[in-house]
């Protein structure tokens, strides 16, 4: 395995087996994650993704968390709601559950990150600076009140034309940081069970550009089971490739490419055009060094996937030897 591939994929997958389309029962998802943590490819894993509402059920499976290895790290997902008025109560409920869990069970699991969907009504209206400041103020006060200081609080905009228009304002505000000790990030949903849930190549390139430009840490979720773009007959649309996404993020970080070039990388369907060696990675005439890949991965931390097997199997079919040591360079 080349050093570039190892650097690109280390800790890149948040295991989200509890979420669609897998929707596994909690016991099976826990069993899977415990097994994956013992697998030779465990270096690709990051966090176990669970909803705030399921945290209390996780206590029934603590015997599996106590496997002699490092503590499990969790990425906890908040509930969705329709309006900003409802959001206050929903947020309070979620953070109370998370705070209680973190305090009682910190010896077995760490709440590393939060993933909070913003109210659905924000997808129908363009965010104003006042609304953005209000959202950040509520989040900062609520997390401090509950003594929650995770690595990152990722914010997800709801789908909608106005949400896309609000994207720039939100990433710019995240990039400004906050006076309180909370690190905010951006979360992009890359897929779902219907075509409308999949962002276009243009929208995805815009996210990469904005996060790089505004200095924003971000993650993706859903729809990234395969390294390269693949048409899904079940969904009736083409799903994005996680290798394309990672290479595009890296090239944006190293060369600050124009969005049209990022779109070409995201649309690439030939794995032969991605070359990963011990010196770095290349796509056609563009190159990135190992330190530049590392910098890109500090910007883009992970993607949520309900499967840990499919991404690795597809990489194997492309000729990448994940378990080997510098055996195949591409």
- Say whether pLDDT at 267 is over 60: yes
Given a contact cutoff of 8 angstroms between Cβ atoms, the answer to whether 207 and 214 are in contact is no
* Encoded tokens for 101: 């869990």
| Residue of higher predicted confidence among 257 and 116 | 116
Q: How confident is the model at residue 178 (pLDDT cuts 50, 70, 90)?
A: low
Q: Given CA atoms 252, 255, 259, 263 in this order, what sign does their dihedral have?
A: negative
* Total Cβ atoms within 10 A of residue 291: 11
3-state secondary structure 177-227: CCCCCCCEEEEEECCCCCHHHCCCHHHHHHHHHHHHHHCCCEEEECCCCCC
Q: What is the pLDDT of residue 200?
A: 93
Q: What is the mean pLDDT of residues 170-182?
A: 74
3-state secondary structure the chain: CCHHHHHHHCCCEEECCCCCCCCCCHHHHHHHHHHHHCCCCHHHEEEEEEEHHHHHHHHHHHHHHCCCCCCEEEEEECCCCCCHHHHHHHHHHHHHHHHHHHHHCCCCEEEEEEEEECCHHHHCCCCCHHHHHHHHHHHHHHHHHCCCCCCEEEEECCCCHHHHHHHHHHHHHHHCCCCCCCCEEEEEECCCCCHHHCCCHHHHHHHHHHHHHHCCCEEEECCCCCCCCEEECCCCEEECCHHHHHHHHHHHHHHCCCHHHHHHHHHCCCHHHEEECCCEEEECCEEEEHHHHHHHHHHEEEEEECCCHHHHHHHHHCCCCCCCCCCCCC
Q: What is the pLDDT of residue 328?
A: 38
For 5-56, write each residue's pLDDT tens digit.
999 999 999 999 999 989 999 999 999 999 999 999 999 999 999 999 999 9
Task: Tell how far CA 283 is from the center of its chain.
Answer: 23
Of 101-105, 123-127, 182-186, 276-280, minimum mean pLDDT range: 123-127
Given a contact cutoff of 8 angstroms between Cβ atoms, the answer to whether 153 and 117 are in contact is no
Q: What is the pLDDT of residue 329?
A: 41
Q: How confident is the model at residue 192 (pLDDT cuts 50, 70, 90)?
A: confident
For 86-136, write each residue's pLDDT tens digit.
998 999 999 999 999 998 887 788 999 999 999 888 877 777 877 888 888
Q: What is the pLDDT of residue 304?
A: 97
- Say whether pLDDT at 271 is over 80: yes
Q: What is the pLDDT of residue 181?
A: 66
β-sheet bridge partners, residue 287: 282
Q: What is the mean pLDDT of residues 239-265?
A: 94
Q: What is the pLDDT of residue 99?
A: 94
Q: What is the pLDDT of residue 112?
A: 95
What is the residue-averaged pLDDT of the chain? Answer: 89
Q: What is the mean pLDDT of residues 204-220?
A: 93
What class is the 10-228+301-315 domain? alpha beta
Q: What is the pLDDT of residue 144?
A: 84
Q: What is the mean pLDDT of residues 233-262?
A: 92
- Say whether pLDDT at 180 is over 50: yes
Q: How confident is the model at residue 326 (pLDDT cuts 50, 70, 90)?
A: very low
Q: What is the pLDDT of residue 67?
A: 60
Predicted structure pTM score: 0.92
Q: What is the pLDDT of residue 324?
A: 44
Q: How confident is the model at residue 177 (pLDDT cuts 50, 70, 90)?
A: low
Segments making up each domain of the chain, as ranges: 10-228+301-315
Of 170-184, 224-238, 314-328, minimum mean pLDDT range: 314-328
């Amino acid at each position: 395995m080349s050093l570039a591939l190892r650097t690109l994929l280390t800790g890149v997958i948040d295991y989200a087996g509890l979420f669609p389309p897998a929707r596994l029962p909690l016991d099976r998802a826990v069993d899977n994650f415990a097994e994956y943590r013992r697998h030779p490819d465990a270096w690709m894993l990051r966090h176990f993704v669970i909803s705030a509402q399921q945290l209390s059920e996780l206590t029934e499976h603590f015997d599996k968390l106590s496997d002699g290895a490092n503590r499990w790290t969790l990425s906890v997902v908040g509930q969705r709601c329709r309006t900003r008025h409802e959001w206050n109560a929903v947020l309070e409920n979620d953070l109370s559950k998370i705070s209680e869990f973190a305090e009682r069970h910190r010896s077995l699991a760490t709440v590393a990150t939060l993933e909070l969907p913003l109210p659905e009504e924000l997808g129908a209206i363009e965010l104003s600076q006042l609304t953005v400041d209000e959202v950040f103020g509520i989040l900062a006060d609520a997390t401090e009140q509950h003594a929650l200081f995770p690595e990152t609080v990722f914010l997800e905009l709801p789908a909608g034309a106005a949400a896309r228009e609000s994207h720039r304002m939100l990433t710019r505000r995240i990039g400004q940081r906050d006076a309180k000790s909370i690190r905010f990030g951006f979360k992009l949903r890359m897929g779902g069970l219907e075509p409308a849930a999949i962002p276009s190549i243009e929208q995805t390139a815009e996210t990469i550009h904005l996060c790089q430009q505004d200095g924003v840490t971000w993650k993706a979720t859903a729809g990234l089971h395969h390294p390269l773009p693949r048409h899904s007959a079940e969904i009736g649309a083409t799903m994005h490739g996680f290798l394309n996404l990672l290479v595009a993020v890296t090239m944006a970080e190293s060369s600050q490419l124009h969005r049209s070039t990022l779109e070409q990388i995201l649309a690439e369907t030939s794995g032969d055009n991605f070359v990963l060696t011990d010196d770095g990675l290349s796509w056609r005439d563009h190159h990135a060094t190992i330190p530049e890949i590392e910098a890109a991965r500090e910007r883009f931390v992970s993607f949520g996937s309900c499967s840990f097997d499919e991404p690795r199997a597809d990489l194997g079919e492309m000729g990448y030897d994940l378990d080997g040591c510098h055996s195949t360079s591409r």
